[in-house]
Amino acid sequence: MFILAVASDPARALTILSLLAIVWYATSAVYSWCRLRHIPGPFLASFSYLWLGRLAFGGRQREGYTLATSKYGSLVRVGPNELLTNDPEVVKRMSSTKSQYWKSKWYTGFQFNPYHPVMFTMTDPAAHDKMKAQLMPGYSGRDISSVEPDVDTQVNSLITLIRKKYITSPGIGGFRPLDLARVIPLFTLDIISKLALGQELGCLETDSDRYQFYKTTEEGLPWLSLITEVSWMREIVYSRLGVKLFGPKETDLKGFGKSIKLANDEVRRRFVPGADKEEKSILGSFIRHGLTQTECEVETQFMFVAGSDTTAASIKITMLYILAAPRVYQRLKDEIAAAVREGKASKLITNAEAKELPYLQAVVYEGLRIRPVVTNMLSKEVPQGGDTINGRFIPAGTSIGVNHSSLLRSKTVFGEDADMFRPERFLEVDTTTLTELQRHVELGFGYGRWMCAGKSIAMMELNKIFFQLLRHFDFQLVDPQTPMISHSHGLFVDTGLWVTITESSEPTVLA
Ligand code: HEM
């Protein structure tokens, strides 16, 4: 009938189709508005994805989400089916190992391979837990004795690079500024490639984003973030056809595609008959714990993204805050000098030694707290039968995301000055409260069943890098009026953290 109508009067058929589409959209908008109308939030967000999409694409998630929570409370409606919380109890309830909540479809936004989920995107808790049990011996370092020496090698490479090219000296021609926002990610990418594959990509050695990994990430993040947050876009792009059309491919000469090829080449090498099964990389551990070749490929690809930009974001922001607070800078330098003088720090500080330095620990935790590295919602789905949160019923199938930025700036937990970078807050409390504060900051790594698998690796990097950089060098911001520009598209895109570097004036080098 309809085909006949189109053939006889195409203009009329088109009008009917348009009207039907408008009616369908209006009905579904009213229906979804009604479902969660008792939860406050921006009006635009209650029936459309414009609010979420604009923040994601525009790189203003951190500011937008924080504003929304301070205006509407701890549970905000941010989309037709999306809520956002900064309530630590809700976060723990959703992610605890006994929770009935599943990861929501939001996670499929990170499934780069159309045919195979990666642990991070597995929504079914049973499948996820099984995979995590196989991956954790590698991630936790239980299976690989060389994690710490491998991190140390990259710390030394960064120091060598700075000495070779970026020491500023007095006089004409002596000004050699370094953009930390560019070079720190090279450091973390070399670490993760070395740990994952047994061979670093060589970014520090060449002082370059060799495979344009970050360039592509920075260009791609606004789109990735938009598509992940806007559910109907996600459905289209992450359909099998969509990923084939838009997804990264091994044949790409740069970016994600290139790193997929690097990872896949390495995985293929390990699966040829007679290959060394005892190799001490994370990939070697995955193979020993029974992962198939495809599982190894996708997990290794994911590790490159999850393990580089995240830790880099934390190092960059912490360095910026250290440099912007003379009291913190000097107190950290003093602790470093004392540790070296008293023989409490090896030539390259060990993870165990770093954990014994209270001010360094306070700086590391305050850096993680002041700007949590993930602005993604990481939404979980309300289980069958719904849930009641603070007296309000939330229907099954609703997505609840986490606002890490405001979660970690809680004035109730951290005090009135929670918006300020003040590591001393961790030193002014008894040991029980200190542990509570640290556990609260660690919510930035997720919680329970879905907690970050690379947390211990990230903490090791943080424990070493500030100590070693400030042990060897002194830093000054080149432009304190605009020290760094940041956009939040799920992860941070930071640019222009220009500093000058001189050899440390304190005797902090000898162990
Ligand atoms: C400061 C650095 C880092 C932070 C703040 C961080 C944070 C997070 C967060 C918030 C999640 C998601 C939790 C959820 O879904 O509820 C996550 C997951 C994950 N991260 Fe990290 N991460 C960091 C570094 C790393 C590193 C270095 C690696 C790899 C060596 C890594 C590997 C992973 C993996 C594999 C997952 C998926 C875990 C799962 O699904 O069970 N991360 N991370």
Domain that holds residue 16: 1-34
> Is 431 among the domain residues?
yes
Does residue 211 form part of some domain?
A: yes
Same domain, 200 and 253: yes
* C-beta of residue 122 within 8 angstroms of C-beta of residue 128: yes
Q: Is 185 in the pocket of ligand 1 (CB under 6 A)?
A: no
CA of 374 to the centre of ligand 1 (A): 9
Question: Residue 81 contacts by C-beta under 8 Å, 6 or more apart in sequence?
Answer: 32, 35, 36, 231, 397, 398, 399
Q: Spell out the residues 6+ positions from residue 242 whose beta carbon is closer than 8 angstroms to its own.
A: 236
| Regions in the chain scoring below 50 on pLDDT | 511
Ligand 1 center to residue 319 CA distance, Å?
21
Q: Say yes or no: 24 and 64 in one domain.
A: no
Task: Tell me which amino acid residue 338 is.
Answer: A
Asked, for residue 217, whether it belongs to a domain, the answer is yes
What is the predicted pLDDT for the residue at 3? 53
Angle, helices 293-324 vs 213-229, to 10°: value is 100
Smallest CA separation from ligand 1 atom 23, residue: 310
Q: To test ligand 1's pocket by mutation, which of 103, 135, 310 has the most ligand atoms within 8 angstroms of CB?
A: 310
Q: Are residues 6 and 104 in the same domain?
A: no
| One-character DSSP codes across 67-103 | HHHHHH-SEEE-SSSEEEE--HHHHHHHHSTT---EE
* Residue of 103, 452, 455, 464 to mutate, ligand 1, most atoms within 8 A of C-beta: 452
CA of 375 to the centre of ligand 1 (A): 13
Does residue 508 fall inside a structural domain? no
Question: For position 511, what pLDDT does the model report?
Answer: 46
Query: 149 and 10 in one domain?
Result: no
Which pLDDT score is estimated for 74? Answer: 95
Number of compact structural domains in the chain:
2
pLDDT of residue 507: 60
- Closest by CA to 134, choosing from 296, 298, 305, 308, is 296
CA end-to-end span of the chain: 86
Residues 148 and 2 in one domain: no
Kindly state the percentage of the chain with pLDDT values over 90. Answer: 72
Please check whether residues 75 and 138 belong to one and the same domain: yes
| 453 Cβ inside 6 Å of ligand 1 | yes
CATH number of the domain residue 245 falls in: 1.10.630.10
Claim to verify: residue 76 and residue 12 sit in the same structural domain: no
Give the residue from 485, 509, 507 showing the smallest Cα distance to 496.
485
SS3 276: coil
Residue in the block written with tokens 């060389």: 146
What are the backbone angles phi and psi of residue 79, rounded to the nearest 5°?
Answer: -160, 175
Whether residue 444 has its Cβ less than 6 Å from ligand 1: yes
List Cβ neighbours of 311 (8 Å cut-off, separation of 6 or more).
Answer: 188, 191, 373, 457, 458, 461, 462
Is the Cβ atom of 282 under 6 angstroms away from ligand 1?
no
Q: Which atom of ligand 1 is nearest to the CA of 196?
A: 30
State the residue for tokens 């009329």.
Answer: 12
- ipTM of this predicted structure: 0.99
pLDDT in tens, 141-169: 888 888 999 999 999 999 999 999 999 99
For residues 88 and 407, the answer to whether their CB atoms sit within 8 Å is yes
Listed in order, strand segments (DSSP E) in 391-484 are: 392-394, 399-402, 473-477
Same domain, 158 and 20: no
With contact defined as beta carbons under 8 Å apart, do 379 and 104 qualify?
yes
* pTM, 2 dp: 0.93
**492 found inside a domain:** yes
CA of 455 to the centre of ligand 1 (A): 7
Q: Quick check: CB of 440 below 6 Å from ligand 1?
A: no
Q: What's the token pair of residue 52?
A: 């979420």
Within a domain: 511: no
Are 378 and 248 part of one and the same domain? yes
Closest Cα to atom 30 of ligand 1: 454
Q: How far, in Å, from the CA of 116 to the mean position of ligand 1?
A: 19
Domain membership of residue 249 (yes or no) is: yes
Residue 510 within any structural domain of the chain: no
Residues 12 and 113 in one domain: no
Task: Give alpha helix (H) positions in 325-415.
Answer: 326-341, 351-355, 358-370, 404-407, 411-414
∠ CA 459-470-435, rounded to 5°? 35
Nearest atom of ligand 1 to the alpha carbon of 402: 16
Pick the closest to residue 361 from 271, 434, 278 (CA basis): 434
The reply to whether 5 and 59 lie within a common domain is no
104 and 29 together in one domain? no
